[in-house]
Structure 1
Amino acid sequence: MTTPMLAIRDLRREYDSGPSLVTALDGVNVDLAAGTFTAIMGPSGSGKSTLLHCVAGLDRPTSGEVTVDGVRLGDLDETGLTLLRRERIGFVFQAFNLISSLTAAQNVALPVRLAGRRLSPSEVTAALDEVGLGDRARHRPVELSGGQQQRVAIARAIVTRPAVIFADEPTGALDNQTSHLVLGLLRDLATSRGQTIVMVTHDPMAAAVADSVLLLADGRLVDRLDGASAEAIAARMARAESTC
């Protein structure tokens, strides 16, 4: 069998809430293959953001195990997790998180520079070309549209050739047309480049672009939809929300 790019085993995350514990994740198990695009959905409070944070090494689970590209996160100390996130994981968030005083090219290169390394100009240019912004390298965020800023953020995420890109509501601040362009870019990264992408979204239209949709409810994985339409995803979400 092919080793999964992302393996999640019996993942639990509990939070101390005064006299009781709140269970955000309750025994999640799933394997995600390399080169796949997976959407995570669920009602508010279902645990989808907590799952993303735990599998991306941003939060420590209470128990269970996460393996990313053959590396067990539980075996790493904080320094090891920082290095893993820096070298093997890319992040795209709803907020573009670009530095306003820097050009697009400088924003793409910034995380690597902060890590004490340098990218060649050709590497930065290649990343911007890949998201269709090679001609905007010298533009600052204020000179770019929202969709272009998010594409710069995607270029920043892919420039180190990470094993996995984690995207948290990447189209949440964009209009429908721009969202379609950004989702098409993520889809193409998975299809053409074999990039593994995991995306949290509340939008069935966005989720339908993915290969699979993982549906969470009350911290549990309750369904997995493969190749589903936006209508089918929305109907399944409605059923999940009605039981919460």
Structure 2
Amino acid sequence: MTGFPAGAHREGMTAIPDTATALRLRDLRKEYRVGQQTVIALDGVTLDLPRGSFTAVMGPSGSGKSTLLHCAAGLDRPDSGTVELAGAPLGGLSERALTKLRRDRAGFVFQAFNLMPSLTAAQNVSLPLRLAHRRPALTQVEGALAAVGLAERAGHRPAELSGGQQQRVAVARALVTSPDVLFADEPTGALDTKSSHQVMGLLRQLVDEHGQTVVMVTHDPVVAAWADRVVFLCDGRIAGQLYHPTPETVANRLAHLEDA
């Protein structure tokens, strides 16, 4: 699989208009009770993700990164504010309706690959469709595995795959439903440098060649540099954005946040 270098952008491609928004967040607020204390995880976050964009979310520990991702994906509900995923408001949906919307419009990749060890790669990829009581077409599953460069590994179980290959199967599983947004939470956290490069090259390729929208939480400046834009959080608020990032510019911005 051929990846794209960090920070690379294509020449001559048609620009996606700003109005083509895959994810719209408005004034998100979220609090948690920890013992006798109230922790403000999100404090008025407003953010748009254009279709076909790759956004990384970074910040110091406890800045609200994972909470933002979970609220944006409908895995958690904000206390106030609005989330629109592919134009569909999440507020007010029943748990059943929210589950269906997540299943149809969102894909998820986490640090733990979460593959079923007794199932083959192809069976793992088809699992979201089966859980939705939809009969997976062979071409759907084959296409998802081919998109991540693992068509020849369809019959292999997770134990027969490297860590990087397992994460690519997890990406294929997230893609099989053709999600509007792919949410990734520390997708390279359990991988070595080579495997991390392969997975990030894959995500970059999905954005560049297939117009996939990706939002990713990471703590690694090298990983963040594959994105089009890095959004920095601090104390539950947006503390700045960085376009066309490099590992150096990301690390420098992070250092300033952590020293603040």
1:34 and 1:75 map into 2 onto residues whose CA distance is: 24
The structural deviation recorded for 1:20 is 3.6
Q: CA deviation at 1:3?
A: 3.9
Q: Which residue of 1 aligns with 2:185?
A: 168
Misfit runs of 4+, over 4 Å: none
Q: Provide, for residues 43-77 of structure 1, a one-character-per-residue CA deviation record: whole Å limited to 9, x for no partner.
A: 00000000000000000101000111000110311
For the residue of structure 2 that corresponds to 1:155, the secondary structure is helix
Q: 1:88 aligns with which of 83, 96, 105?
A: 105
Read off the aligned partner of 2:46 and give its amino acid letter: N
Which string of whole-angstrom CA distances, capped at 9 and with x for unpartnered residues, describes residues 174-220 of structure 1?
Answer: 00111001000000001110000000000000000000000000000
CA contact under 8 A between 2:53 and 2:213: conserved in structure 1?
yes
Percent identity of equivalent pairs: 62
Aligned length: 243
1:11 match: secondary structure = strand
Counterpart secondary structure, 1:31: strand
In the alignment, structure 1 residue 35 sits paired with structure 2 residue 52: yes
- 3-state DSSP class of the match of 2:171? helix
Distance in 1 of aligned mates of 2:34 and 2:251: 32
More deviation in 123-132 or 75-84?
A: 75-84
Partner of residue 28, structure 2: 11
1:140 counterpart = 2:165: no
- What displacement does 1:2 show? 1.3
What residue in structure 2 maps to residue 237 of structure 1? 254
Q: Distance in 2 between matches of 1:35 and 1:78?
A: 28
Q: Amino acid of the residue matched to residue 99 of structure 1?
A: M
Aligned to 1:149: 166
- Partner residue of 1:103? 120
User: Which amino acid is the alignment partner of residue 74 of structure 1?
Assistant: G
Larger mean Cα displacement after TM superposition, 33-42 or 109-118: 109-118
Q: Deviations over 1:117-144 (max 9, x none)?
A: 1111111001000000000000000000
Q: 2:132 aligns with which of 108, 115, 118?
A: 115
- In structure 1, the partner of 2:69 is 52
What is the rounded CA distance, in whole Å, between the counterparts of 2:185 and 2:98 in structure 1? 19
Residue 16 of structure 1: how far off its partner (Å): 2.3
Cα offset, 1:31, TM superposition: 0.8
User: Can you give the 5+ residue segments of structure 2 that lack an aligned partner in the other structure?
Assistant: 1-17
Please give the secondary structure, in 2, of the residue aligned with 1:138.
coil
Matches within 5 A, 1:65-84: 65-84=82-101
Q: Distance in 1 between matches of 2:37 and 2:144?
A: 47
Equivalent residue for 2:221, pick from 184, 204, 208: 204
- Cα deviation digits, residues 125-169 of structure 1 (max 9, x gap): 010000000000000000000000000000000011000000000
Residue 29 of structure 1: how far off its partner (Å): 0.7
Separation in 2 of the partners of 1:62 and 1:104? 38
State the SS of the aligned residue for 2:78: coil
Structure 1 CA distance for aligned equivalents of residues 190 and 35 of structure 2: 34
What is the Cα deviation at residue 111 of structure 1?
A: 1.6
Provide the secondary structure at the position in 2 that maps to 1:224.
Answer: strand
Return the TM-score normalized by structure 1: 0.98
CA contact (8 A) 2:128 2:177 kept: no
Amino acid at match of 1:143: E
Say which SS state the counterpart of residue 75 (structure 1) adopts: coil
Secondary structure of 1:184's partner? Answer: helix
Equivalent of 1:64 in 70, 81, 88: 81
